[in-house]
């Protein structure tokens, strides 16, 4: 199991703890972002509905006013794409709308249009300034855009995020994955052991992270042998 997959497993524990639903798509870094953490713990078919609901709210048409069946029909991919395009067009006229950029970034992420998601996060950073959460989300989509690798700009963003919040579990997990990409097992283990120290003892999150640590330790031993 490579660093990316082990990192996804570790973040799967965080998703479980956050929403108490044991369904995590290992191997998807979108699950590592704050948006992706809870989205990845839901059936994949639900994601378009959630995205559509958010877009309706952002565009001034509350989804809560729609009958359930109509929402299902409206959430079909062409309709979602159209709503995302409308939101993007609106932001060209209202570039100072931070919440709009946040919704657009997450919408592009859901649609796996990671380059465009990164552009939206860049706009949001310019409006809101740096925070650990925002830098982590930006790093995730940059990593996805460059073929699921965190080296380079994504890791630099994560290090800035960690400086802002040294106990940010999402950032620590991703930095552990970045360390594994370069076979730096010691750094990966330090990051995930830090997460373990922050997790409630015996919790699903703690057990999942313990499993990830064991995998990394086994990898490290195998590397030493060779």
The secondary structure of 122-142 as a DSSP string is HHHHHHH---HHHHHHHHHHH
197-219 CB burial, b ≥16 within 10 A, e <16: eebeeeebbbebbbebbebbeeb
For position 69, what pLDDT does the model report? 39
pLDDT of 52 reads: 46
Q: Which pLDDT does position 110 carry in this prediction?
A: 83
Q: Report how far apart the first and last C-alpha atoms of the chain are (Å, whole number).
A: 17
The predicted pLDDT at position 211 comes to: 86
Please give the pLDDT value at position 194: 93
What does the DSSP 8-state code read for residue 42? S
| Residue spans of the chain under pLDDT 70 | 1-76, 223-226
Question: Residue 111: what pLDDT?
Answer: 84
**pLDDT of amino acid 206:** 85
Exposed (0-12), middle (13-18) or buried (19+): which is 159, by Cβ within 10 Å?
middle
């Amino acid at each position: 199991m490579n660093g990316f997959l082990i990192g996804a497993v570790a973040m799967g524990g965080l998703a479980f703890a956050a929403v108490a639903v044991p369904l995590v798509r290992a191997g998807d870094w979108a699950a590592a972002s704050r948006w992706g953490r809870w989205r990845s713990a839901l059936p994949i078919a639900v994601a378009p509905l959630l995205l559509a609901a958010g877009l309706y709210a952002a565009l001034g048409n509350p989804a809560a006013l729609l009958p359930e069946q109509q929402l299902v029909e409206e959430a079909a991919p062409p309709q979602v794409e159209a709503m995302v395009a409308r939101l993007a067009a609106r932001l060209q006229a209202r570039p100072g709308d931070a919440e709009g950029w946040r919704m657009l970034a997450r919408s592009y992420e859901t649609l796996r249009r990671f380059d465009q998601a990164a552009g939206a996060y860049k706009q949001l950073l310019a409006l809101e300034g740096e925070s650990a959460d925002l830098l982590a989300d930006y790093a995730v989509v940059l990593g996805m855009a460059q073929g699921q690798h965190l080296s380079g700009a994504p890791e630099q963003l994560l290090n800035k995020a960690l400086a802002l919040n040294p106990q940010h579990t999402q950032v620590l997990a991703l930095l552990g994955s970045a360390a594994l990409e370069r076979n730096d097992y010691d750094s990966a283990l330090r990051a995930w052991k830090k997460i373990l120290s922050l997790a409630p003892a015996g919790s699903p999150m703690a057990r999942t992270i313990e499993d990830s640590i064991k995998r990394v330790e086994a990898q490290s031993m195998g590397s030493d042998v060779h």
